[in-house]
Amino acid sequence: MAFNSLDFFIFLPIVFLAYWLFFTKKTNHQNTFILVASYFFYGLWDWRFLFLIIASTVVDYFVGQYIYTSDTTKEKKKWLWISIIFNIGLLGFFKYYNFFIDSWIDFISLTGYEIGNSWTLQIILPVGISFYTFQTMSYSLDIYYKRLTPTKDFISFATFVSFFPQLVAGPIERASNLLSQISAKKVFNYAQCTAGVKLIVWGLFKKVVIADSIAPIVDDIFANYSEYPASTLILGVSLFSFQVYGDFSGYSDIAIGTAKLFGIELMSNFKFPNFSRNVAEYWQRWHISLSTWFRHYVYIPLGGSRVSKLKSVRNIIIIFLVSGFWHGANWTFIAWGAIHAALYIPVFLMGRNRIYMNTTVAENKWFPSITEILQILCTFSLITFSRIFFRSESITDAFGFIKQICSNFRFETYEHPLGYRMIDYFILLTIFTIYEFRIRRDERSPFKFKSRVTRFIVYTIVILGMLLFFDDNIDRSFIYFQF
């Protein structure tokens, strides 16, 4: 069930009303109801894969108990490895099995031997497996590192693993934030609910009006890149930057807003990354939950930046390659990760990777300076270039796309595949960018205006835009569902 489907618009009000009308007396009743609703939410996609979520839940629940009660470090480590091997094993089989087999077949073919593809399997990738396996592993890792005491409440833990607002595409939550809230009694809060509804509306706007309206253009250009000149290809990958941002940040807004309806505060996953002034700031603002996960559970255990410069550079390379591989079983994602490592390392070596951690662009000003504008444009251009690999079907296509830009550098007016005027999209994205710059200081308050008239105008435009662009007959799944 997708957030932008009619099914969800029916499901959510029913669950919300039942939750607050019938399950407010006991926390255990609240969590049991949400757990059932979450399993129903996921099971509508494919009920068979519920067993994977349940298996991951059971394993890490008991692993957490055994790590905590074990007397020796050796024993604790043994149980931790059970969690890691089990979850990475699930992820590895469903997501990466055919990738490794195909890569091995290709390697063997270089020697002149052909072994066929009899080893490959028809495997369906379970939606959300990259997210919930990382979430359950973080629970075991936090117990191992003595950051967390395991819960004895299995229902609360199962709800933490499968909480439907963030089950299939994050944010990837740590138990110290989400499980502690799930274990506490929730009381209806009108202000929290209205804030949640506003985030849901804004997230849907970004998904339906921004991401989905751009998708046909991006699909056409990337599918037929060999037929278009450089101007069109640059247009295509630039629009893809807006598409993937609107799609994924829109999902995160809906997830955070939906959680608010049930008294839960999820972590922020996006903080206006398109206004980043260097690549390091970009990664502090883009997919924050994944970046945080890798920093806490991979980068710091490797030594982080506390070791020598050479080892720190090694750690950065590892993080970005693993992050790329996490996104998908394709060499394009590994190349994408390598590009980001290459972009990040110079910023790190110059000591400029943390200078924008607590500031926003044009801090306490209405407009950015010329220097900030150039920094933003440069960063956006570099990130956009990397997305050629992120969006392409293969490494061959990615390099073919780049080659076409370099060899066919001419301007040509692009004709929309559905016949719409392109000028309308430029106006839409310009207004959207200006609006996001206006609200850049608070990603959780998209409609924060003192004037009621202004709020009414903005609400009207947003809702009319969604009604105009919404089409339930078009398959517009969220991009990160495939990860």
Amino acid at site 333: F
Buried-exposed string 451-480: b where 16+ CB fall within 10 A, e elsewhere: eeeeeeebeeebeebbeeebeeeeebebbb
Looking up tokens 């970004």, which residue turns up?
Answer: 206
Q: Name the active-site residue from 287, 327, 340, 416.
A: 327
Per-residue tokens: 248: 């994924």
- Cβ-proximal residues to 251 (8 Å cutoff; 6+ apart), any chain: 3, 169, 203, 207, 478, 480
Cα separation, 261 vs 207, whole angstroms = 20
The residue assigned the tokens 């409440």 is 153
Nearest to 405 by CA among 230, 223, 227, 224: 230
Q: Which residues contact 266 (CB under 8 A, 6 or more apart)?
A: 165, 166, 171, 173, 177, 178, 255, 256, 259
Rounded Cα gap, residues 185 and 30, in angstroms: 8
Distance CA 63, CA 76 (A): 9
Quick one: which of 345, 302, 294 has its CA closest to 323?
A: 294
Q: Which amino acid is at 287?
A: H
287 is catalytic: no
- Token pair in block for residue 19: 């939750």
The answer for residues whose C-beta is within 8 angstroms of residue 117's C-beta and 6 or more apart is 101, 102, 105
Structure tokens at 71: 């007397």
Which residues, 6+ apart, have CB-to-CB distance to 480 below 8 Å?
169, 170, 247, 248, 251
Tokens, residue 219: 């699909």
Positions annotated as catalytic residues are 327
